[in-house]
Copies of this chain bind each other. A is one copy, B any other.
Amino acid sequence: MGACGSLKIRVEEMKIAVVQFNPRIGHLKSNVEKIKGFIGRAKEDGADLIVFPELAVTGYHPRDLLFYNAFLDGVEKAVTEDIVPLAEGIVVVVGTPWREKEGDLPRLYNAALVLKDKKIISSHYKILLSGDDVFDEHRYFKPGAKTSLLTLGGKKIAVTIGDDLQLEEHFRQGPGMVINLAASPYHLGRAGERAEMFRSLAMEKEVCLFYVNQVGGNDELIFDGSCVACSESAKVFHQVEPFRETLLYCKVDNFDLEIIGVEEDFPSLRTRNYLQEEDVNWVYAALQRGLADYLKKTGFDKVIIGMSGGIDSAVIAALAVEILGPDKVLSVMMPSRYSTDHSISDSEKLAANLQMENRLIPIEGPFKEFIESLNRGRKAIIDLAEENLQARIRGDILMFISNRESGMVLTTGNKSELAVGYCTLYGDMCGGLAVLADVPKQMVYRLAAYINDLAGKELIPQSIITKPPSAELRPDQFDHDSLPPYEVLDRLVHYYIEKNMHVDEIVAMGFEREQVENIVAKIDRSEYKRFQAAPVLRITSKAFGSGRRIPLARGNFW
Contacts and interface: CB of A to CB of B under 8 A. Distances in A.
B369 A551 contact: no
A375 B430 CA distance: 21
A532 B25 CA distance: 20
Interface in A7-35: 24-30
B366 A388 contact: no
B218 A27 contact: no
Given A70-B505, A500-B69, A553-B297, A370 B384 contact: no
Contact of A399 (B63, B368, B388, B533): B388
The copy count of this chain in the complex is 2
Interface string A420-435: 0000011000101000
Nearest to A135: B139
Contacts of A554: 24-27, 59, 62, 65, 297
A538 interface: no
Contacts of A388: 399-400, 403
Nearest to A216: B553
A528 interface: yes
Interface in A299-317: none
Interface residues of A, number: 86
A389 interface: yes
Contact of A553 (B68, B71, B217, B550): B217
A138 interface: yes
A29 B556 CA distance: 9
Interface string A540-552: 0000001011111
A397 interface: yes
B535 A533 contact: no
A361 interface: yes
Given A63-B549, A430-B426, A557 B26 contact: yes
A64 interface: yes
Contact of A555 (B29, B293, B396): B29
Contacts of A43: none
Nearest to A361: B373
25 contacts: A24-B553, A25-B554, A26-B551, A26-B557, A27-B554, A30-B555, A59-B554, A63-B551, A65-B550, A65-B557, A70-B558, A74-B557, A136-B549, A219-B551, A298-B552, A365-B373, A366-B369, A370-B400, A374-B397, A383-B403, A383-B404, A384-B403, A392-B395, A392-B399, A392-B426
